[in-house]
Structure 1
């Protein structure tokens, strides 16, 4: 959890936070750190379980909140994935981008990015208590869709028109890359670096899938052993009345 807080602080108050309103590619890096890296690190630290373990009343409150219909909808894979997919598109392709550079909306946007990312990874990793558990296979499928959406946004920013031309021109920056090169680098950060950073997350999902499959196999074996123990036979066809009558003659 400390690592996630550190990344968030660096993206907000460090050099990244200082140059994010000036360079497109630094802003893209900041968005990636706040929307992806920080929430992934925070969710991996199991903060909900940690908070619940510190106080029994708090744990009971969290349990009741997670079992509510509102939380089941808000923290469903559909809701959190839709928010994760839509946020970058809305940020870059609407006036929200320029408005979020400075002032109170800048701070609110940073908070929103972390919250959206945390909800996304919290429901996907499922290492904490969640309103509803689902197969890791669904989570892997969501990752594929999310990767395609990020790639498409990267292509749009790379080959499409320049974003916030008037804003960046008003800065009168006479150093660094041109506006086109700056935006192309930012598009690559969102697309390529985003996919690279997602590799550990996908690997964790694959391990969860393997664990889930082994758990199901053990459960199935236990049920078969129970059936065999309750009956007198150990042959599978002897548990079927029709087949037992046919082959027992």
Structure 2
């Protein structure tokens, strides 16, 4: 459904339209309700839960719902730039906010140990210890995800194939969110993970992802004609050409898509520096203790000889 020519405004993308909402939007609502239920139960029982983590998770769910539950979801099938907005939001913006809310730790603390809670906890712990989790958290997976979700999906025109399928658009959105959580967990998660990459590996991952986004965005910015069969015709009802639509999408990848990665790059560098300072301090303390012990030994030995 396109707007009438010349009548489109940016605000039209962010109107609540239940008829065009993706099923994924209601999953965001369910996750928000479940999280708040767990957090409130801990506050009521005076076991405590972080307000900052709760705020982060709520923001993540709201961003998730914005990308999938408002009218932007309907217009994504008309404009590739709108689909890219959805993709960047679900892959790059939402996962950090959800992961910094420590949903895994909340699940373990708030779920009852008896009744229905017991199988839930057992399933969660089994998933945490599974080989699948170890494989998905391998540093190379984040790079594979970035390559599959951006250049491979679009330059092979697989995006058009997905959109042509019944339910293909919701399937794409689900993939974007899952890819984002898998790639973002080693970088953003505050929950303990079965595999924690070193700071060097994290820096390499982020650097490669930034390059993938930059090249992909640049190609879209420089495009002069339609690149995807689903988006072959000019969206005249929107008062723009397809090349402009693609350029807007490229600009989003360069700005909106890169910002969280630059933030995680700075945070990782800061954590790396603090970790090195702590190690140096521990090493210095150990050396000082050994030197003091040696001085005491010398004083005791030669002091007695006198």
On whether the aligned pair clears a TM of 0.5, the verdict is yes
User: Paired residue for 1:73, among 135, 151, 165?
Assistant: 135
Farther off after superposition, 104-113 or 160-169: 160-169
Cα separation, partners in 2 of 1:219 and 1:133, compared to 1, 3 Å: farther
Q: Deviations over 1:32-70 (max 9, x none)?
A: 111110112111212112212223655665445333333
Q: Is 1:89 aligned with 2:151? A: yes
CA-to-aligned-CA distance 1:11-31 (integer Å, 9 cap, x gap): 112132121111121122111
Q: Which residue number corresponds to residue 256 of structure 2?
A: 193
Q: Across the two proteins, how many residue pairs are aligned to each other? A: 234
Partner residue, 2:283: 220
CA RMSD of aligned residues (A): 2.7
SS at match of 1:215: helix
Give yes or no for contact 2:187–2:202 (8 Å, CA) kept in 1. Answer: yes
Structure 1 contact 8–34 (Cα < 8 Å) conserved: yes
2:12 aligns with: none
Greater fraction helix: 1
1:176-201 Cα distance to aligned partner (Å, 9 max, x none): 21111111111111123322343332
| 1:206 paired residue number | 269
Give the Cα separation in 2 of the matches to 1:191 and 1:33.
Answer: 13
The Cα of 1:224 is off from its aligned counterpart by: 2.5
Decide which of 61, 72, 76 is 1:5's aligned counterpart.
61
* Alpha-carbon separation, structure 2, partners of 1:174 and 1:124: 41
Cα deviation, 1:130-176, whole Å, max 9, x if unaligned, reads 1122322321222111111111111222334522246442x864332
Once the two structures are overlaid, the 10-residue window that deviates more, 200-209 or 40-49, is 200-209
Uncovered stretches (5+) of structure 1, i.e. residues with no partner: 239-249
Q: Which runs of 5+ in 2 are unaligned?
A: 1-56, 299-306
State how far apart, in whole Å, the 2-side matches of 1:156 and 1:193 are: 16
TM-score by length of 1: 0.81
Residue 80 of structure 1 and its aligned partner are, at CA, apart by: 2.8
Q: How far apart are the structure 2 equivalents of 1:215 and 1:189?
A: 39
